[in-house]
């Protein structure tokens, strides 16, 4: 059985000082080992401080992005080795905000995924359609292409990734995909993963849902066959609401 994984994407929020407080509250609430795997993804500037808080606890640390090269002249960028050294075990890659505002393509995402895996990080690979694409019945086409190109060529390492299905129209908008809408796309993603890596391997890959997940809508979403957790934005900035989702598992 796949373990559910709840990850908080803090985005460009929280100073290191504020991050420590939030991480301490989440760690304390996770002291009774939760059923779900819990991951917090603060901004780069807070990773070291949060690492000090969660080390040795049930809470894992993740970053929100990284570069695909190991090192070099890439001003302002951060490498996989730097994240590992800070205690990260996860990294979010291909978030729709990175695709929209920073021009990340499936090819870039694929390079990053390969670099993350080679370094020993678990990539949380984000995919999802825009509202216009959904209205034009392009969801299946868009998400399939993001999967097929974004996680191409991984071989057996495909089994080490986490996928996050995040309909762009549901991120930070208060709109949530219905459990049935989400399940349909999750099943499609698992089908694509099956084509890439075989059924046995695809069955082991966690597929998170992301898009205005909150404590009140989490139970129904998380009860769907192919929804294996959540990637949480807004509700992850408050320990009570984040733990409300963790405890919905």
Dihedral of alpha carbons 51, 4, 205, 178, sign: negative
Q: Is 77 a catalytic residue?
A: no
* Binder among 112, 233, 245, 249 for ligand PEP (CB under 6 A): 233
What is the C-alpha separation between 45 and 38, in angstroms, rounded?
20
Catalytic residue chosen out of the listed positions 67, 95, 104, 186: 95
* Binder among 185, 232, 243, 245 for ligand PEP (CB under 6 A): 232
Please work out, in degrees rounded to the nearest 5, the angle formed at the alpha carbon of residue 234 by the alpha carbons of 31 and 217: 80
Q: Is 166 a catalytic residue?
A: yes
Q: Which residue is nearest to ligand PEP (CB)?
A: 233
- 213 contacts ligand PEP (rule: CB under 6 A): yes
Complex with ligand PEP: residue 9 or 79, whichever CB lies closer: 9
Map the footprint of ligand PEP across residues 139-168, applying CB under 6 A. 166
* Binder among 19, 212, 217, 241 for ligand PEP (CB under 6 A): 212
Q: How far is the CB of 233 from ligand PEP (least distance, A)?
A: 2
* Binder among 153, 172, 204, 238 for ligand PEP (CB under 6 A): 172
- 231 contacts ligand PEP (rule: CB under 6 A): yes
Give the CA distances from residue 126 to residues 15, 142, 166, 182, in Å, rounded to whole numbers and listed in that order: 25, 12, 7, 14
Catalytic residue chosen out of the listed positions 97, 104, 129, 166: 166
* Binder among 49, 234, 241, 249 for ligand PEP (CB under 6 A): 234
Complex with ligand PEP: residue 197 or 229, whichever CB lies closer: 229
Residue 229 bridge partners (DSSP): 5
> Which candidate, 97, 94, 113, places its Cα nearest to that of 105?
94
Question: Which stretch, 13-21, 111-119, 132-140, 231-239, contacts ligand PEP (CB under 6 A)?
Answer: 231-239
Complex with ligand PEP: residue 4 or 197, whichever CB lies closer: 4
- Residue 119: CB atoms within 10 A of its CB come to 17
The alpha carbon of residue 141 and the mean position of all alpha carbons in its chain are separated, in whole angstroms, by: 21
Beta strands in the chain (DSSP E): 5-9, 37-41, 59-63, 90-93, 122-127, 162-165, 207-209, 229-232
Strand pairing class (229-232; 162-165): unpaired
Residue 235: in which H helix or E strand, if any?
A: none
Interface with ligand PEP (CB under 6 A), residue total 13
Which positions touch ligand PEP (CB under 6 A)?
Answer: 9, 166, 171-172, 210-213, 231-235
Catalogue the active-site residues: 95, 166
């Amino acid at each position: 059985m796949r373990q559910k994984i709840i990850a908080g994407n803090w985005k460009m929020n929280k100073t290191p000082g504020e991050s420590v407080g939030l991480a301490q509250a989440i760690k304390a609430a996770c002291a009774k080992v939760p059923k779900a795997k819990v991951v917090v993804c603060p901004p780069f500037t807070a990773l070291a401080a949060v690492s000090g808080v969660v080390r040795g606890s049930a809470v894992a640390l993740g970053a929100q992005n990284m570069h695909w090269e190991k090192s070099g002249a890439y001003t302002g960028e951060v490498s996989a080795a730097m994240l590992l050294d800070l205690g990260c075990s996860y990294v979010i890659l291909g978030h729709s905000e990175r695709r929209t505002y920073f021009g990340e393509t499936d090819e870039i995402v694929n390079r990053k995924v390969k670099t993350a895996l080679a370094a020993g990080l678990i990539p949380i690979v984000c995919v999802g359609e825009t509202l216009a694409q959904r209205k034009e019945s392009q969801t299946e086409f868009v998400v399939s292409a993001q999967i097929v190109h974004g996680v191409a060529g991984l071989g057996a390492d495909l089994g080490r990734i986490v996928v996050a299905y995040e309909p762009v129209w549901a991120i930070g908008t208060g709109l949530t995909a219905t459990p049935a809408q989400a399940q349909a796309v999750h099943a499609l993603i698992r089908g694509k993963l099956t084509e890439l890596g075989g059924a046995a391997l695809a069955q082991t890959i966690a597929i998170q849902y992301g898009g205005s997940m909150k404590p009140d809508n989490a139970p129904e979403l998380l009860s769907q066959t192919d929804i294996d957790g959540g990637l949480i934005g807004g509700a992850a900035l408050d320990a009570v609401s984040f733990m409300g989702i963790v405890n919905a598992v």
